[in-house]
Amino acid sequence: MTKKMTGEPISKKIDEDWAKVEEALQQFEKRIGLGGLESSAVTNLLTLTPATLNKMSAEDCAEGALLLSQEATYIQSQLNILQSKMDWCKRRIDRIIAPIIRSQLQRYMDASYKRALAIKEDDVADKLQAVYDETASYHSRLAYLPTSLRNQSDKLSKYQEVKRGQNYG
């Protein structure tokens, strides 16, 4: 039986746990080439000032658009890997807990509660759920990036067209 914690001790524990999760997320981003404060071509393109953008040639804009598009594709592939891992964990958990849920005799209990209780009753399912939760954190941390990078890429492509038009006008 789990000991119930209330008040300050649990609040401190939650803060400590979140700090660990945040550190793990930052390490993950660095491992796949994101989130560092060090200057990179992608970071430079994402932080362009209007003055810098005005100085760029049409070719610079095209190269920047391509680089951002490639980065979006790379991050999307990382998201796909994470989603595959989450799906795999969920399928394994479902197979493990199906007999446990079937044997639960509660009159009425929400399906999500039944699932959570069944996962807690099996060590392997509990470990798989921890893997799923960690992977889901990584996934949600990256989910907006491919679309954002593609939007920036599209803007640079349009700016390239404007600059090309200025050269011929």
The one-letter code for the residue type at 168 is Y
Quote the DSSP letter at residue 35: S
Task: Spell out a b/e string for 133-158, using b for 16 or more CB atoms within 10 Å of the CB, else e.
Answer: ebbebbbebbeebbeebbebbebbbe
Residue 158 CB contacts under 8 Å (≥ 6 apart), including other chains: none
Task: Say what the pTM is.
Answer: 0.73
Q: Which pLDDT score, from 0 to 100, does residue 4 have?
A: 41
Could you give the residue ranges of the DSSP H alpha helices within 34-122? 41-46, 50-55, 58-103, 111-121
Could you read off the pLDDT tens digit of each residue along the chain, which spans 169 residues?
444 444 456 557 667 776 787 788 778 777 777 654 345 888 899 999 999 999 999 999 999 999 999 999 989 988 998 999 999 999 999 999 999 888 876 667 888 888 999 999 999 999 999 999 999 999 998 999 999 999 999 999 999 999 888 776 5
Q: What share of the chain is helix, strand, coil (3-state, %, to 5)?
A: 80, 0, 20
